[in-house]
């Protein structure tokens, strides 16, 4: 565990992410006594938003005293001169730089900061938010730039889904239990569904979102991370290197077979570009071409402006042989294990049993057992910030991994067809139902 005094620099420190997630998470960690070694948090931004002080200080008065605002323009060399003066006062401390800024500013910031840090010997870490690049090529360029100034052990690429309890529990359930890992393969599993449905539209992020779309915003990162935790092989050891090796290995065997894109009605007007063909919804059929998963499709679905928020992975098992139930004139439903991230963090196992009021020879009925994941942390960012401070990179994305993720989606970045339109507030668009019905399956939602 890191016991070094450190200071945290948040570039974009008055922005949306900082305000909604980073500061509240830091304040909670502070209150729980996890930030004993924190010297100061510096918010670097062009202007102090009026409400910044209120937001930071009201979270916790004592935590607020550790927070400083530094006027900063990431593209202006003069700002780095000023930052240099500040660093002079922090000799011997670990410096953590968190890039919570527009991805268009990543390169300038990394370059200017990297050059400045050459004059200092402090231990350092740099955190890069998503999106990490816009395609494979730009992600490689960003990696190259980072490696000019930092080593991999200093680079923390964030995907906040990895901080979620449920995602980490996929790993635990699989690799700490013989009864689950033993059936986690093509012999028992029919298919896997990974869904992230959202009620919100693009809200105030229209201009940015329109350049990104659901493929870059959700599929390339969160959805494929959920897939890799579900599909990876057990690591040789519980270490950050071996865990990430296995994720890279599974991603290298992953390919998208079909992808369907949709856009909610009113989106193009909302973002102010009537001709926009950016997708706000997608379904993908994904295959993992290895010994464990041959013949098992992974169906992914994610979209915005739908009826409800639902994020979950459902592992659907094969049917039992019909000979058993032929005389009963019914077919038991397939067993399922589902990992839910939202609205609740929970595990549900669904299976068939004799009905409570039934006879021995009666059709089984669906039964389920639920387990809510208890958690000390409210927010995925709390977990990730703590790992960052402690220097554990297991839940951060390695350079080769980010490129492997881009390689999976790269063939689908240039859409050939316009997206279909769906109504706001629909549970799931009809096209998405048909996407999987075509293969005799249905979504479990
Ligand atoms: C973000 C995306 O990374 O994840 C957003 O940019 C999306 O568009 C969000 O809404 C979803 O995260 P969560 O934790 O609410 O499922």
> Which 3-state string (H, E, C) describes 157-214?
ECCHHHHCHHHHHHHHHHHCCHHHHCCCCCCCEEEEEEEEECCCCCHHHHHHHHHHHH
Q: Ligand 1 centre and the CA of 20: distance in Å?
A: 12
For ligand 1, atom 5, name the residue with the nearest CA.
Answer: 217
Nearest CA owner, ligand 1 atom 9 = 218
Q: Which residues are catalytic?
A: 222
Q: Using CA atoms, how far apart are residues 24 and 29, in angstroms rounded to an integer? A: 9
Residue 324 has pLDDT above 80, yes or no: no
**What is the 379 CA–ligand 1 centroid distance (Å)?**
13
Looking at the CA of residue 341, tell me the nearest atom of ligand 1.
16
Sequence ranges of the chain with CATH classification 3.30.360.10: 161-437
| pTM score | 0.96
- CA of residue 386 to ligand 1 center, whole Å: 20
In which band, very low, low, confident or very high, does the pLDDT at 356 lie, cut at 50, 70 and 90?
Answer: confident
268-308 pLDDT tens trace: 999 999 999 999 999 999 999 999 999 999 999 999 999 99
State in Å: Cα 100 to ligand 1 middle: 15
- Nearest-atom number in ligand 1 for the CA of 342 is 16
d(CA 440, CA 445): 16
Peptide bond into 232 cis (omega under 30): no
> Which amino acids bring their CB within 6 angstroms of ligand 1?
196, 198, 217, 311, 342
In angstroms, how far is CA 81 from the centroid of its own chain? 35
Mean pLDDT of the 95-100 span: 97
pLDDT of amino acid 141: 98
pLDDT value at residue 364? 85
1 pLDDT exceeds 70? no
CATH 3.40.50.720 residue ranges for the chain: 6-129
**Contact by Cβ (8 Å): 310, 343:** yes
Index of the ligand 1 atom closest to the CA of residue 196 = 16
Report the C-alpha gap between 347 and 213 in whole angstroms. Answer: 30
In this structure, are residues 280 and 305 in contact, taking their beta carbons and an 8 Å threshold?
yes
Return all residues near 423 (Cβ < 8 A) that are at least 6 apart. Answer: 264, 265
CATH topology of domain 161-437: Dihydrodipicolinate Reductase; domain 2 (3.30.360)
Q: Which residues pair with 312 in a beta bridge?
A: 195, 340
* Residue 365: φ, ψ to 5°: -120, 160
Residue 229 to residue 95: CA distance in whole angstroms: 31
Fold for domain 6-129? Rossmann fold (3.40.50)
Mean pLDDT of the chain: 94
């Amino acid at each position: 565990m890191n016991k070094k005094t450190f200071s945290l620099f948040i570039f974009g420190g008055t922005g949306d992410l900082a305000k909604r997630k980073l500061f509240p998470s830091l304040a909670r960690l502070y209150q729980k006594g996890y930030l004993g070694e924190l010297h100061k948090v510096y918010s670097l931004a062009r202007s102090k938003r009026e409400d910044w002080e209120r937001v930071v200080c009201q979270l916790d008065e004592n935590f607020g005293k550790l927070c400083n605002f530094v006027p900063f323009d990431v593209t202006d060399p003069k700002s780095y001169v000023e930052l240099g003066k500040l660093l002079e006062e922090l000799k011997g401390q670990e410096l953590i730089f968190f890039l919570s800024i527009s991805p268009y500013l990543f390169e300038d910031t990394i370059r200017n900061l990297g050059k400045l840090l050459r004059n200092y010997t402090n231990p350092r870490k740099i955190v890069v938010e998503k999106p990490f690049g816009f395609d494979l090529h730009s992600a490689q360029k960003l990696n190259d730039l980072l490696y000019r100034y930092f080593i991999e052990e200093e680079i923390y690429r964030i995907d906040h889904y990895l901080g979620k309890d449920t995602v980490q529990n996929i790993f635990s359930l699989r690799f700490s239990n013989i009864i689950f890992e033993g059936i986690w393969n093509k012999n028992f599993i029919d298919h896997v569904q990974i869904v992230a449905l959202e009620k919100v539209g693009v809200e105030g992020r229209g201009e940015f979102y329109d350049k990104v779309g659901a493929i870059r915003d959700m599929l390339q990162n969160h959805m494929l991370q959920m897939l890799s935790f579900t599909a990876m092989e057990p690591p040789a050891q519980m270490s950050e290197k071996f865990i990430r090796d296995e994720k890279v290995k599974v991603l290298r065997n992953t390919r998208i077979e079909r992808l369907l894109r949709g856009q909610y009605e009113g989106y193009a007007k909302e973002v102010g570009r009537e001709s926009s063909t950016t997708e706000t919804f997608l379904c993908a059929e994904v295959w993992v071409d290895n010994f464990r998963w041959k013949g098992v499709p992974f169906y992914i679905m994610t979209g915005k402006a739908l009826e409800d928020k639902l994020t979950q992975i459902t592992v659907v098992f094969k049917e039992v042989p019909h000979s058993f139930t032929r005389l009963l004139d019914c077919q038991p439903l397939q067993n399922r294990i589902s990992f839910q991230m939202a609205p609740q963090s929970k595990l549900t196992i669904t299976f068939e049993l004799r009905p409570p009021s039934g006879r021995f020879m009666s059709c089984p009925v669906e039964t389920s057992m639920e387990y809510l994941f208890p958690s000390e942390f409210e927010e995925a960012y709390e977990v990730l910030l703590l790992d960052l401070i402690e220097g554990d990179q297991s839940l951060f994305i390695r350079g080769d991994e980010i490129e492997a993720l881009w390689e999976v989606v790269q063939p689908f970045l240039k859409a050939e067809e316009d997206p279909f339109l769906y109504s706001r507030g629909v549970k799931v668009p009809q096209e998405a139902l048909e996407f999987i019905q075509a293969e005799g399956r249905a979504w479990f939602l």
